[in-house]
Chain A
């Protein structure tokens, strides 16, 4: 697998940068915006600032050939040991031609938990951003249809937040009871 990828990277994609250079040129191009990065066993991760995340993702798509957005997800770091920020919003990118992957993460803190939507870059982001909104309440500015996707519309909480109780706030039992005599 790795041999095959290495071979593929040799000739037909000669102009393409290797992965670590993507990170370094990203750091050069956006000084101060990339706060941390890591590389471990072919997993490349970079943490960027919330203000410039759209710009960076657009650059990654246009100039670094990450033509597919695999996933958008989030993590709530409330009560997480050593955490300094509340939410981590994660974009998983893939270059379908070379098979390279990059994980872009941005940290969010209340009350500023809105980020620009990337549906204009990858239209597949539509439902994934709706799911993140549904579960965490992170708002995506410019999203064409930002409403709940899994939970019913009348649901008012965001259940994957750590301060939401696992058993809910009684939503699961807020229904009329049908007795035998009336059915």
Chain B
């Protein structure tokens, strides 16, 4: 036995199982492009030859959530799309991560209207935020590098670090009471031609 180990030399490494899993996972991320707007074009640019996302092991974009572990939400999400986004997120296998790309996905951007969700982090967990409108491809590459760092530092073999995150991670829920107060303040201006407070 001792004689057979002797010849192995540098061919054997001792490490933790977590570290081995993190090393493998962080260097082969499979993005799920959830591209709904112009950020999607930058996402495509980042994946193509000039910026070459494959240098960081994340170039295989799959349009099936079952085959992905990194959701890149690139663009604004409207209230009709949000149930779809949540469903796709739930369909992705563990362990999985989420990059919120661009001002619209992070905060709604300039689209502060009745239909646009003001930040996807209100409804799904987000790991990395990318500012910009749209962000440069370099910023997306930096986000992938940062996510690799995050996985390498905090990841576990059985993804048990996710089980600790039991609270909603986005901003607090929309305050409907404040909206009612706002409408009451504006009431005098609206008196006039057939004002109907119901519709």
**A interface residue numbers (CB < 8 A to B):** 77-80, 83, 86, 109-110, 137, 151-152, 157-159, 161, 163-183
Contacts and interface: CB of A to CB of B under 8 A. Distances in A.
A170 B96 CA distance: 30
A181 B96 CA distance: 12
Contacts of B164: 181
B149 interface: no
Nearest to B178: A170
A172 B116 contact: yes
A154 B115 CA distance: 13
A165 B194 contact: no
Interface in B108-164: 112-118, 122-125, 162-164
For the residues of B in contact with A, the DSSP-based class is: loop
14 contacts: A78-B195, A86-B193, A151-B115, A165-B183, A166-B112, A169-B114, A171-B79, A172-B116, A175-B83, A177-B122, A177-B170, A178-B124, A181-B163, A181-B164
B165 A152 contact: no
Q: Which of A78, A157, A180 has the most chain B CB atoms inside 10 A of its CB?
A: A180
B193 A83 contact: yes
A78 B192 contact: yes
B174 A170 contact: yes
Contacts of A177: 122-123, 168, 170, 173
A139 to B, nearest CB: 12
A180 B79 contact: no
A183 to B, nearest CB: 6
Contacts of B114: 159, 164-169, 171-172
A178 B197 contact: no
Interface string B161-196: 011111111100110100100110000011011111
B86 interface: yes
Nearest to A173: B174
Interface residues of B, number: 44
Contacts of A109: 194
Given A170-B174, A172-B114, A174-B79, 10 more contacts: A78-B195, A110-B196, A152-B80, A163-B196, A167-B179, A172-B117, A175-B79, A178-B90, A179-B169, A183-B90
B86 A178 contact: yes
Contacts of B124: 178, 183
Contacts of A158: 199
A180 B194 CA distance: 47
B107 to A, nearest CB: 13
Contacts of A171: 79, 114-115
Contacts of A110: 194, 196
Contacts of B125: 178-180, 183
B82 interface: yes
A176 B112 contact: no
A123 to B, nearest CB: 26
Nearest to A85: B193
B180 to A, nearest CB: 9
Contact of B195 (A157, A163, A175, A176): A163
Contacts of A80: 193
Q: Which 6 A-B pairs have the closest CB atoms?
A: A168-B114, A180-B165, A173-B174, A180-B125, A181-B166, A177-B168
Contacts of B170: 177
Given A164-B199, A181-B165, A181-B166, A79 B179 contact: no
Contacts of A169: 114, 176, 179
Contacts of B80: 151-152
Contacts of B78: 172
